[in-house]
Structure 1
Amino acid sequence: MAAYLRELGYRVSEMSSAQDAEAHIKQPLNQVDLVIADVAMPGVSGDAFASWLSIERPELPVILITGGQSDALVSSSAPVLTKPFAMSELARAILERLGRRYGS
Protein backbone atom coordinates (compact mmCIF):
# COMPACT_ATOMS: atom_id res chain seq x y z
CA MET A 1 0.00 0.00 0.00
CA ALA A 2 2.83 2.43 0.80
CA ALA A 3 4.36 1.83 -2.62
CA TYR A 4 1.01 2.56 -4.27
CA LEU A 5 0.64 5.79 -2.29
CA ARG A 6 4.14 6.83 -3.34
CA GLU A 7 3.19 6.10 -6.97
CA LEU A 8 0.27 8.49 -6.55
CA GLY A 9 2.73 11.16 -5.42
CA TYR A 10 2.14 11.07 -1.69
CA ARG A 11 4.98 11.27 0.81
CA VAL A 12 4.55 8.30 3.13
CA SER A 13 5.84 7.75 6.66
CA GLU A 14 5.42 4.16 7.80
CA MET A 15 5.22 3.37 11.50
CA SER A 16 5.28 -0.06 13.11
CA SER A 17 3.01 0.83 16.05
CA ALA A 18 0.52 3.39 17.27
CA GLN A 19 3.10 4.59 19.79
CA ASP A 20 5.58 5.31 16.99
CA ALA A 21 2.86 7.09 15.02
CA GLU A 22 1.88 9.19 18.05
CA ALA A 23 5.49 10.25 18.56
CA HIS A 24 5.82 11.12 14.86
CA ILE A 25 2.59 13.13 14.84
CA LYS A 26 3.58 15.04 18.00
CA GLN A 27 6.82 16.28 16.40
CA PRO A 28 6.11 19.82 15.17
CA LEU A 29 8.47 19.49 12.20
CA ASN A 30 6.66 16.43 10.83
CA GLN A 31 3.88 17.47 8.48
CA VAL A 32 1.07 14.94 8.63
CA ASP A 33 -1.96 15.53 6.40
CA LEU A 34 -3.71 12.17 6.75
CA VAL A 35 -3.40 8.99 8.82
CA ILE A 36 -4.17 5.49 7.54
CA ALA A 37 -4.24 2.92 10.34
CA ASP A 38 -5.15 -0.73 10.59
CA VAL A 39 -7.89 -1.58 13.06
CA ALA A 40 -5.70 -4.42 14.37
CA MET A 41 -2.39 -2.85 15.43
CA PRO A 42 0.15 -3.96 18.00
CA GLY A 43 -0.45 -2.45 21.43
CA VAL A 44 -3.39 -0.16 20.63
CA SER A 45 -6.32 -0.75 18.30
CA GLY A 46 -6.70 1.47 15.27
CA ASP A 47 -10.03 2.55 16.70
CA ALA A 48 -8.41 3.70 19.97
CA PHE A 49 -5.68 5.42 17.96
CA ALA A 50 -8.30 7.25 15.87
CA SER A 51 -10.03 8.32 19.10
CA TRP A 52 -6.72 9.69 20.44
CA LEU A 53 -6.22 11.60 17.18
CA SER A 54 -9.72 13.08 17.36
CA ILE A 55 -8.72 14.68 20.68
CA GLU A 56 -5.07 15.56 19.96
CA ARG A 57 -5.47 16.58 16.30
CA PRO A 58 -9.19 16.87 15.50
CA GLU A 59 -8.42 18.45 12.11
CA LEU A 60 -6.31 15.45 11.01
CA PRO A 61 -8.27 13.07 8.75
CA VAL A 62 -8.07 9.34 9.46
CA ILE A 63 -8.88 6.25 7.41
CA LEU A 64 -9.10 2.87 9.14
CA ILE A 65 -8.45 -0.43 7.39
CA THR A 66 -9.74 -3.79 8.58
CA GLY A 67 -9.76 -7.42 7.56
CA GLY A 68 -13.49 -7.49 8.21
CA GLN A 69 -13.75 -9.41 11.48
CA SER A 70 -13.15 -6.28 13.56
CA ASP A 71 -15.82 -4.06 11.97
CA ALA A 72 -18.12 -4.41 14.97
CA LEU A 73 -15.38 -3.10 17.25
CA VAL A 74 -14.95 0.18 15.36
CA SER A 75 -16.67 3.08 17.08
CA SER A 76 -14.64 5.85 15.47
CA SER A 77 -16.24 8.23 13.01
CA ALA A 78 -13.33 7.58 10.63
CA PRO A 79 -14.23 5.79 7.41
CA VAL A 80 -13.33 2.11 7.34
CA LEU A 81 -12.06 0.25 4.27
CA THR A 82 -12.48 -3.51 4.46
CA LYS A 83 -9.81 -5.74 2.91
CA PRO A 84 -9.55 -6.69 0.17
CA PHE A 85 -10.19 -3.36 -1.49
CA ALA A 86 -9.13 -1.92 -4.82
CA MET A 87 -6.39 0.69 -4.74
CA SER A 88 -8.82 3.01 -6.52
CA GLU A 89 -11.07 2.75 -3.43
CA LEU A 90 -8.15 3.81 -1.26
CA ALA A 91 -7.34 6.68 -3.62
CA ARG A 92 -10.97 7.83 -3.52
CA ALA A 93 -11.12 7.64 0.29
CA ILE A 94 -7.91 9.64 0.60
CA LEU A 95 -9.14 12.39 -1.70
CA GLU A 96 -12.50 12.54 0.08
CA ARG A 97 -10.81 12.80 3.50
CA LEU A 98 -8.55 15.55 2.16
CA GLY A 99 -11.59 17.41 0.85
CA ARG A 100 -10.85 16.84 -2.82
CA ARG A 101 -12.90 15.24 -5.54
CA TYR A 102 -11.91 11.88 -7.01
CA GLY A 103 -11.19 12.04 -10.73
CA SER A 104 -10.67 15.80 -10.90
Structure 2
Amino acid sequence: MQAVLDAVAEPRRRAILTLVRDRELAAGAIAAQFPDVARPTVSQHLRVLRDAGLVVERRVGTSRLYRTRPEGFAEVREFLEGFWENRLQTLKAEAERDQRIRDDRARRQ
Protein backbone atom coordinates (compact mmCIF):
# COMPACT_ATOMS: atom_id res chain seq x y z
CA MET A 1 0.00 0.00 0.00
CA GLN A 2 2.85 2.39 0.77
CA ALA A 3 4.20 2.21 -2.80
CA VAL A 4 0.78 3.20 -4.14
CA LEU A 5 0.47 6.10 -1.72
CA ASP A 6 3.98 7.29 -2.53
CA ALA A 7 3.27 7.03 -6.26
CA VAL A 8 0.06 9.06 -6.16
CA ALA A 9 1.50 11.65 -3.80
CA GLU A 10 3.28 13.28 -6.76
CA PRO A 11 0.97 15.59 -8.78
CA ARG A 12 2.43 14.72 -12.20
CA ARG A 13 1.92 11.03 -11.53
CA ARG A 14 -1.70 11.69 -10.69
CA ALA A 15 -1.99 13.62 -13.97
CA ILE A 16 -0.46 10.69 -15.85
CA LEU A 17 -2.93 8.31 -14.22
CA THR A 18 -5.76 10.55 -15.36
CA LEU A 19 -4.42 10.60 -18.92
CA VAL A 20 -4.32 6.81 -19.14
CA ARG A 21 -7.42 6.10 -17.07
CA ASP A 22 -9.76 5.57 -20.01
CA ARG A 23 -7.36 4.84 -22.84
CA GLU A 24 -3.98 3.42 -23.62
CA LEU A 25 -1.31 5.96 -24.57
CA ALA A 26 2.25 5.70 -25.83
CA ALA A 27 4.98 7.01 -23.57
CA GLY A 28 5.75 9.74 -26.12
CA ALA A 29 2.14 10.92 -26.16
CA ILE A 30 2.15 11.05 -22.37
CA ALA A 31 5.43 12.98 -22.32
CA ALA A 32 4.03 15.44 -24.87
CA GLN A 33 1.42 16.47 -22.29
CA PHE A 34 4.22 17.75 -20.04
CA PRO A 35 6.34 20.09 -22.19
CA ASP A 36 8.03 21.54 -19.11
CA VAL A 37 9.39 18.11 -18.09
CA ALA A 38 12.20 16.15 -19.73
CA ARG A 39 11.16 12.84 -21.31
CA PRO A 40 13.44 10.81 -19.01
CA THR A 41 11.63 12.36 -16.04
CA VAL A 42 8.26 11.27 -17.46
CA SER A 43 9.73 7.81 -18.04
CA GLN A 44 10.79 7.71 -14.41
CA HIS A 45 7.27 8.67 -13.31
CA LEU A 46 5.88 5.88 -15.49
CA ARG A 47 8.33 3.41 -13.96
CA VAL A 48 7.25 4.38 -10.43
CA LEU A 49 3.59 3.97 -11.40
CA ARG A 50 4.32 0.62 -13.04
CA ASP A 51 6.34 -0.64 -10.07
CA ALA A 52 3.51 0.37 -7.72
CA GLY A 53 1.10 -1.67 -9.87
CA LEU A 54 -0.93 1.34 -10.96
CA VAL A 55 -0.25 1.16 -14.69
CA VAL A 56 0.38 -1.69 -17.05
CA GLU A 57 2.94 -1.40 -19.81
CA ARG A 58 2.50 -3.09 -23.18
CA ARG A 59 5.20 -3.12 -25.81
CA VAL A 60 4.32 -2.84 -29.46
CA GLY A 61 7.47 -2.80 -31.56
CA THR A 62 9.59 -0.03 -30.10
CA SER A 63 6.62 1.73 -28.47
CA ARG A 64 5.55 1.35 -24.89
CA LEU A 65 1.86 1.79 -24.27
CA TYR A 66 0.46 2.52 -20.82
CA ARG A 67 -2.95 2.34 -19.23
CA THR A 68 -4.21 2.58 -15.67
CA ARG A 69 -4.58 -0.65 -13.75
CA PRO A 70 -7.58 0.01 -11.46
CA GLU A 71 -7.00 -3.13 -9.40
CA GLY A 72 -3.70 -1.58 -8.30
CA PHE A 73 -5.73 0.74 -6.09
CA ALA A 74 -7.64 -2.09 -4.36
CA GLU A 75 -5.76 -2.11 -1.05
CA VAL A 76 -5.86 1.67 -0.65
CA ARG A 77 -9.49 1.77 -1.73
CA GLU A 78 -10.41 -0.92 0.81
CA PHE A 79 -8.59 1.00 3.53
CA LEU A 80 -10.36 4.28 2.72
CA GLU A 81 -13.75 2.66 2.27
CA GLY A 82 -13.47 1.40 5.83
CA PHE A 83 -13.76 4.98 6.98
CA TRP A 84 -16.75 5.65 4.74
CA GLU A 85 -18.53 2.46 5.70
CA ASN A 86 -18.42 3.37 9.40
CA ARG A 87 -19.70 6.85 8.60
CA LEU A 88 -22.47 5.50 6.39
CA GLN A 89 -23.58 3.03 9.07
CA THR A 90 -23.68 5.85 11.61
CA LEU A 91 -25.66 8.04 9.20
CA LYS A 92 -28.09 5.18 8.52
CA ALA A 93 -28.65 4.58 12.25
CA GLU A 94 -29.26 8.30 12.83
CA ALA A 95 -31.69 8.50 9.91
CA GLU A 96 -33.59 5.46 11.19
CA ARG A 97 -33.71 6.95 14.70
CA ASP A 98 -35.05 10.25 13.35
CA GLN A 99 -37.67 8.38 11.31
CA ARG A 100 -38.83 6.44 14.40
CA ILE A 101 -39.16 9.72 16.34
CA ARG A 102 -41.24 11.25 13.51
CA ASP A 103 -43.39 8.11 13.29
CA ASP A 104 -43.99 8.16 17.07
CA ARG A 105 -45.01 11.84 16.95
CA ALA A 106 -47.34 11.19 14.03
CA ARG A 107 -49.06 8.34 15.90
CA ARG A 108 -49.57 10.51 18.96
CA GLN A 109 -51.33 13.22 16.98
Q: Same fold (TM over 0.5)?
A: no
Larger Rg: 2
Q: Which has the higher helix share?
A: 2
TM-score of the superposition, structure 2-length normalised?
Answer: 0.26
TM-score of the superposition, structure 1-length normalised?
Answer: 0.27
